[in-house]
Amino acid sequence: MSSVEPSPWLSDGLYRAAAAVASAQQSADYLEQLLPSLHLDQFSSLPSLPAPNRLSVAEATHEHQAAMVTAHQRVLNVWEQATTVRRKRAMQELDQWLCSLPALWRKTLLTCSPTDVISFMERSWLAKHGGTVLPDGTTVASPSGVNVCLSSLSTGFSLLGRVGSWSPVTPQGNPIQSAGLLHWHKGYRL
C-alpha cells in the first residue's frame, strides 16, 4: 500500500479502515437477507466448473493487498477534491469543539450525540460561518451553508462506521440522521 498521510482530524489508515468496515457490514447484512431466498437446487443443471487453482498464502496475500489498493483508489475517485476538503474541515471543526468541552463531558467523533452536534452548530459553526447579512445588519450562516455542513458531517460519520438512523436507546447510528437534528435543521431553514 502507499504511505499513509496523516489527516488533520483522523489518520487516513483509520479513515480507510472505518470505511471498509462499514462497507463490509452493509454487504454482510445484504447477504444475510438474500441467502434465505436462494434455492441451491436451481443451480444443479449447470455444468460443473473446473476446480480453481489454489493460491499459496503469499499469492493470496498479494492478491488481497492489490485489491485493497485498487479499492482505495476507487474510493478516492468517488468524491471531488473540494467535497473531500469540506467534509474533512467540518469533521475537524466538530472534533476541535468536542475537545474543548470539559473533561467530564468529553465526547469524540465516535461517541457524540445529535444534541452535541446541535450545540456545536449553534454555539460554534453558525458564529464562524455567518456570511448572509440580514436587513438589521446582523450576519448569519446561509441555509445552504448549513445544508453543506450537515451533509459533510453525515458522510464523515458514515465513513467512521456510524451508519443508519440515530437510536437514542442504544445510542448508535449517525447523529445527523436523528429526529431532533432534522427538526433543528428544518427550523433553521424557516
Q: How confident is the prediction along the chain (190 residues), in pLDDT tens digits per residue?
A: 344 344 455 555 555 655 665 565 565 565 556 555 555 555 566 666 676 778 788 888 888 888 888 777 776 666 677 788 899 999 999 999 999 999 888 899 999 999 999 999 999 999 899 888 888 888 888 999 999 999 999 999 999 999 999 999 999 999 999 999 999 999 987 6
DSSP letter for 50, please.
P
Domain residue limits, the chain: 7-42+53-190
Nearest Cα to Cα of residue 92 among 3, 156, 158:
156
Beta strands in the chain (DSSP E): 132-133, 139-140
3-state SS class at 3: coil
Residue 32 burial (CB < 10 Å; 0-12/13-18/19+)? exposed
Q: Tell me if 177 sits within 8 A of 183, measured CB to CB.
A: no
pLDDT of 139: 83
3-state SS class at 170: coil
From first CA to last CA, the distance across the chain in angstroms is 48
User: How many whole angstroms separate alpha carbon 80 and alpha carbon 152?
Assistant: 13
120 Cβ contact list (under 8 Å, min separation 6)? 93, 94, 97, 98
Q: Give the angle 9-29-11 at the CA atoms, nearest 5°.
A: 15
User: How many whole angstroms separate alpha carbon 154 and alpha carbon 91?
Assistant: 9
Tell me, what amino acid is at 107? K
Long-range contacts of 167-172 (CB under 8 A, 24+ apart): 168/113, 171/113
Task: Report the predicted TM-score, pTM, of the whole model to 2 decimal places.
Answer: 0.59
> Which letter, b or e, does each residue of 14-30 get, where b requires 16 or more Cβ atoms within 10 Å of its Cβ?
ebbebbbebbeeeeeee
- Helices then strands, each counted (H, E), the chain: 7, 2
